[in-house]
Structure 1
Amino acid sequence: MPTFQSKRFIPTSASGTLPARYRASLQRHPFLLFGLPFIATMVAGSFFLTPATALRYEKHDRKVRQMTKDEELGIGKDRRRVDMREEYYKLAAKDLDDWEQKRVKRLPGEHDGIL
């Protein structure tokens, strides 16, 4: 049985094309033609994506920020400002010793707690 030739078949028309020349030189210099461009792309991508990542985190920080006292109390531009002393004196003026306990009416079918 005849053996196959060890030489690869290269058609004469394809040997002059750019992909064929690149493939042949890639076998001789793999790092220079594949590894170095790959690493350069990764490093350049890191530098180009850094501002995009910073924008992402800045947008997140704008949404989640520390609230001021007025925002905690729910006071906007249309609401009056709350003065703690004024509120204290309003509560102090009320008679808190004279009160009567009243039961809340329950919804139909809800357990009222009476045994």
Structure 2
Amino acid sequence: MRWHSNDQLRNWSPHRRQSKFEKLSKKHPFLFVGLPFLVAVVGGSFVLLPSQETKYEVRDKHIQRAPIDQLKVNKRKFDLQEEYFRMKTKGSWNDEWEPKRVERPPEDEPVFDRQGPK
């Protein structure tokens, strides 16, 4: 089987004529490849813009800004010792907890000698 170059495969017929589009695209590649790509990217951003605006409008409806005075009234003073006792009475900490070793599956080859060096 004989390998052919891309040019030979593209021009398989010696009498094949290039179309106008092929001639122009070889002469001006940006005009026929780069420009449509840029138009698609920029046009896509403008098409998606209304959906993004709707997204932010809906989010702003759900989030309500509270006045600063109201935040100061409901604020609780933080005390480390008080927080510690609150967590202890709440049962967040379990004093009976101790670390337990997890059994490992048996290995084919021991990594370390259990008898020590000879």
TM-score by length of 2: 0.39
TM-score by length of 1: 0.40
Larger radius of gyration: 1
